[in-house]
Chains A and B, each alone.
Chain A
Amino acid sequence: MVEMLKQPWSWYVAGAIIGLIVPALLLLGNKHFGISANFRHACAACFPSNIPFFKYDWKKELWNFFFVGGILIGAVIASTLLSNPNPIQVHPTLVTTLSAYGINDYSSMVPKQLFSFASLFTVRGFIMLVGGGFLVGFGSRYAGGCTSGHSIMGLSDLQLPSLIATISFMLGGFIMANLLLPIILSL
């Protein structure tokens, strides 16, 4: 059983469990699945700076901090007790593409050559980590939600604005991965 759990899980198992998060949070306390809201609550809690957008009682949203705290602990459990000893299997074309940029370490969920504190002081590392994070935070709030709030929760509730947001997420991703990332990686 444990050996089976250690293998990478298939998409339908993962998808079904992620889908069940939606009713679980609704049934437990009327909570709508949405993770990027935590960044807003963090601003409201730490740096409201008299900005109207951050002047609300963030303590009412405390549950969401517990939720992401749980995600972090879950990831620790999965990567220690249920860890898959084999390197991640990716498409051979991607392996070829990435090796041209010196990325060939598949031992972790993220490429270690890019996701390290040392990489933070390189041009491409800074753009990817600091720049990427900024775009995620700015864009998700501008769009009113991220993949969890719009693509999972919003689509589950058949919301047209969420479909529009999801299409826009994908569009941005395609542009970055195919057109801009090759330039950034070669910096």
Chain B
Amino acid sequence: MIKELNVLHPTDSVSPAVVEAANTDFEVRSLDTICVNESEKQHPWWYNFKYAVVGVVFGIVFVKAEVISWFRIQEMFRLQSFHMYGVIGTAVIVGMISVALIKKFKVKTIYGEPIVFRPKKFNKGQVIGGVIFGLGWALTGACPGPLFAQIGTGAFVVAIVILSAIAGTWTYGYCREKLPH
């Protein structure tokens, strides 16, 4: 937005700090390996409803396959059931084939934009943070997606879990510079 204004009115007195903030936006977001979802298209906000539809399908599967069940997660980590391994394994295989096909045939998005993949870089966070995440996963019986679905099944106290997760993320952002990466 600010960038556009700048182009239209180059002599406008936009403070340098603001311009700088706008220009480093991509770099800041890509500090996180997962966080860059860039589309050059400027769509009205309600175009996002199509992602809500994908979410609805996902939410139904989550509940019907009991993926969001605290009990299923306990079974998984106690090696008492194949169910969760089957779900994740199948999802990864289907995902791998899909990504391979998209790359091979250079498939574009429905708006004709090229689909971009960015290689992730290894850092110690994936091990240390990964183990910390795993500890939380077995406690709450849910990774972030299922937390939202658990609320939908009527476990309203999970809203507290989500608020706590946001607090955890904020704390990470606050201490980020001091943590080993």
Contacts and interface: CB of A to CB of B under 8 A. Distances in A.
A152 B95 contact: yes
Contacts of A52: 28
19 contacts: A11-B82, A12-B86, A15-B94, A18-B58, A18-B61, A18-B90, A42-B166, A130-B164, A133-B136, A133-B163, A137-B164, A137-B165, A143-B132, A144-B33, A148-B145, A161-B122, A165-B126, A168-B134, A172-B131
A158 interface: yes
A40 to B, nearest CB: 6
Interface string B15-38: 000000110010011011111111
A22 B130 contact: no
A68 interface: yes
A71 B176 CA distance: 30
A15 B88 contact: yes
A31 B178 CA distance: 30
Contact of B62 (A74, A130, A161): A74
B103 to A, nearest CB: 9
Count chain B CB atoms within 10 A of each CB in A19, A20, A129, A174 and give the residue with the most.
A19
Given A91-B81, A138-B132, A139-B132, A156 B59 contact: no
A25 interface: yes
A158 B116 CA distance: 14
A40 B33 CA distance: 12
Interface in B45-69: 45, 48-69
A80 B50 CA distance: 23
B109 interface: yes
Given A93-B78, A141-B169, 9 more contacts: A36-B34, A75-B153, A82-B60, A82-B64, A108-B155, A111-B71, A168-B126, A172-B138, A177-B138
Is the contact region of chain B dominated by helix, strand, or loop, or is it mixed?
Answer: helix
A69 interface: yes
Q: Say which size band chain B's interface belongs to.
A: 35 or more
A64 B48 CA distance: 9
B152 A141 contact: no
Interface in A55-69: 55-57, 60-69
B152 A76 contact: yes
Interface string A13-30: 111111111111111111
Interface residues of A, number: 137
A87 B83 CA distance: 17
A19 to B, nearest CB: 3
A145 B34 contact: yes
A90 interface: yes
Contacts of B14: none
B157 A120 contact: yes
B144 A148 contact: yes
A74 B144 contact: no
B92 A151 contact: yes
Contacts of B31: 53
B92 A156 contact: yes
B38 to A, nearest CB: 7
Nearest to B68: A109
B9 interface: no
Contact of B69 (A18, A66, A88): A88
B21 A55 contact: yes
Contact of A30 (B22, B35, B113, B140): B113
